[in-house]
Amino acid sequence: MILNQSIVMDKNSKHMLDRRRRLLGPAYRLFYREPVHIVRGEGVWLYDQAGDRYLDMYNNVPHVGHCHPHVVSAITDQVKSLNTHTRYLHANVLDYAERLTAKFPDELDTAMFSCTGSEANELALRIARTCTGGTGIIVTDFAYHGNTKAIYEISTEDIPSDEVPEYVVTVPTPDVYAGEFQGKDGGSRYAECIYDALSLLKHRGIKPAAFIIDTIISSGGVVATPLGYLAKIAEVVREAGALFVADEVQPGFGRTGRNFWGYQIDDFVPDIVTMGKPMGNGHPLAATVTRRELVDEFAAHTSYFNTFGGNPVSCAAGLAVLDVIENEKLQENALEVGLYLNQKLEMLSEKHEVIGDVRGEGLFKAVELVADRAARTPATEITADVVEGLRKHGILAGSIGKTNNILKLRPPMVFSKENAEFFIQGFDEVLCGL
């Protein structure tokens, strides 16, 4: 059912948009041609000022669902008793660190908390540079890792090519569907590109410090890394004296279904793992998890302090999120419902030629839209129309990729088969109307 064919903004929303532009400036981004005025959330649903509800297919921040009562209660109870900075002892911080590190192999035994994924990644780079003596960073060629100055410089999705520092080099996103290397051997050929990146750094006289990758590459098109890709690169960069950093801000905490962390697609252990957004279900919480010997080396040169990173309220939220994931079996749900959604999308692709590829893991999916299946020509304008059309059908999704022709689907982990059916029906109707 179409909510509002015209999507006309009401007077109050127009006023808010004018205020936002005046008060916040033009750099802040909004979704949709006519922005949505959201006032309430519950589970997988968001509600606008008119009372219309939207299925949230985009937002991984409320990992266990918008306003989950257990998380809300945990935050409320803790903020009633204490919230302060992190230079006092508090059980929540230790309890959360203990439960979080238990989700990793024994080697990754130490957690350092911050408020955002950007901060977590910046700390990872600081540790890597301190412990290796290098400065060079290798990233994929359309990556996003955050918005601090240091992390912006390695976020190749956003930074103009002429502003990329000399210490940053890229490897191609391992896209075996539409990239340079396709098919079964594409993954190994992409992995070999790490040698070229290391050679370029050497040519520039720069010692490598780290390779960093989001283990399902979101900005590059929700690309699940080919089997063996991560492990091979980890082996090569370590031989070169650098560290492997797994950015789990988006794929982590059971979203892939088969594993708790995205990097577990391969049998290896990263040197550093970073995480953020989903940890606190919307409450600011992030972490950098690594080996004790690296933290000891880092601490011998400097110290780390984050006023609010890992404060008692944030850690209460983090503990509650882990409770819900475990008690409601949300990782298992991601696997089951993710497979169901994949089947439905594959069936839809038989009906609509514009669907070129369906991919992803668990509840982290991509639908690549093409103007020509054989040529795999990006359908950029069509994708923009689809996103707007889904919004009219009460479904919120986004588009990504180098040519912005990939529909990104990343709902809260409480997403059900019934929710999947609602999405498929709406998506089918939008595609039929193209």
Q: Which of 1-15, 158-172, 266-280 has the lowest mean pLDDT?
A: 1-15
Q: How far apart are CA 175 and CA 188, in angstroms?
A: 12
Are the C-beta atoms of 369 and 405 separated by less than 8 Å? Answer: yes
Q: How do residues 279-334 score in pLDDT, each as one tens digit?
A: 999 999 999 999 999 999 999 999 998 999 999 999 999 999 999 999 999 999 99
Q: How far apart are CA 117 and CA 154, in angstroms?
A: 14
pLDDT of residue 391 exceeding 60, the answer is: yes
CATH number of 11-60+329-432: 3.90.1150.10
Confidence of residue 349 (pLDDT cuts 50, 70, 90): very high
Query: What b/e sequence results for 162-181 when a residue is b if at least 16 CB atoms lie within 10 Å of its CB, and e otherwise?
Result: eebeebbbbbbbbbbbbbeb
Please tell me the predicted confidence (pLDDT) of residue 13.
Answer: 79
Please compute Rg for the chain using Cα positions: 22
Report, as an integer, the average pLDDT of 66-81: 97
Q: Which residues pair with 355 in a beta bridge?
A: 369
pLDDT of residue 1 exceeding 60, the answer is: no
Q: How far apart are CA 297 and CA 292, in angstroms?
A: 9
Alpha carbon 400 to its chain's center:
12
Share of the chain above pLDDT 90, in %: 87
Q: Which of 27-41, 113-127, 196-210 has the lowest mean pLDDT?
A: 27-41
Q: Where are the domains of the chain?
A: 11-60+329-432, 69-327
Please tell me the predicted confidence (pLDDT) of residue 16.
Answer: 87
Report, as an integer, the average pLDDT of 29-49: 92
Q: How far apart are CA 138 and CA 160, in angstroms?
A: 17
Report, as an integer, the average pLDDT of 398-424: 97
Joined tokens for residue 172: 């191609």
Report, as an integer, the average pLDDT of 328-345: 98
Pairing of the two strands 243-247 and 398-400? unpaired
Share of the chain above pLDDT 70, in %: 98
Mapping DSSP onto H, E and C, the string for the chain reads CCCCCCCCCCHHHHHHHHHHHHHHCCCCCCCCCCCCCEEEEEECEEEECCCCEEEECCCCCCCCCECCHHHHHHHHHHHHHCCCCCCCCCHHHHHHHHHHHCCCCCCCCEEEEECCHHHHHHHHHHHHHHHHCCCEEEEECCCCCCCCHHHHCCCCCCCCHHHCCCCEEEECCCCCCCCCCCCCCHHHHHHHHHHHHHHHHHHCCCCEEEEEEECEECCCCCEECCCCHHHHHHHHHHHCCCEEEEECCCCCCCCCCCCCCHHHHCCCCCCEEEECHHHHCCCCCEEEEECHHHHHHHHHHCCCCCCCCCCHHHHHHHHHHHHHHHHCCHHHHHHHHHHHHHHHHHHHHHHCCCEEEEEEECCEEEEEEEEECCCCEECHHHHHHHHHHHHHCCEECEEECCCCCEEEECCCCCCCHHHHHHHHHHHHHHHHCC
Report, as an integer, the average pLDDT of 146-170: 93
Q: How far apart are CA 218 and CA 216, in angstroms?
A: 6
Please tell me the predicted confidence (pLDDT) of residue 8.
Answer: 57
Please tell me the predicted confidence (pLDDT) of residue 5.
Answer: 44
pLDDT of residue 22 exceeding 80, the answer is: yes
Please tell me the predicted confidence (pLDDT) of residue 161.
Answer: 87
Report, as an integer, the average pLDDT of 385-399: 96
Confidence of residue 38 (pLDDT cuts 50, 70, 90): very high
Q: How far apart are CA 406 and CA 372, in angstroms?
A: 14
Report, as an integer, the average pLDDT of 21-28: 88
Question: What does pLDDT average to over the chain?
Answer: 94
Beta-carbon contacts of residue 71 (< 8 Å; ≥ 6 apart): 64, 280, 281, 283, 317, 320, 321, 324
Largest CA distance in the chain: 63
Please tell me the predicted confidence (pLDDT) of residue 355.
Answer: 98
Residue of 6 and 215 predicted with greater confidence: 215
Report, as an integer, the average pLDDT of 46-74: 96
Are the C-beta atoms of 140 and 216 separated by less than 8 Å? Answer: no
Amino acid at the residue 173: T
Comparing C-alpha atoms, which of 368, 407, 401, 398 is closest to residue 141?
Answer: 401
Are the C-beta atoms of 10 and 52 separated by less than 8 Å? Answer: no
Q: Does domain 69-327 have CATH number 3.40.640.10?
A: yes
Report, as an integer, the average pLDDT of 35-44: 94
pLDDT of residue 4 exceeding 80, the answer is: no
Confidence of residue 6 (pLDDT cuts 50, 70, 90): very low
Please tell me the predicted confidence (pLDDT) of residue 67.
Answer: 97
Are the C-beta atoms of 250 and 144 separated by less than 8 Å? Answer: no
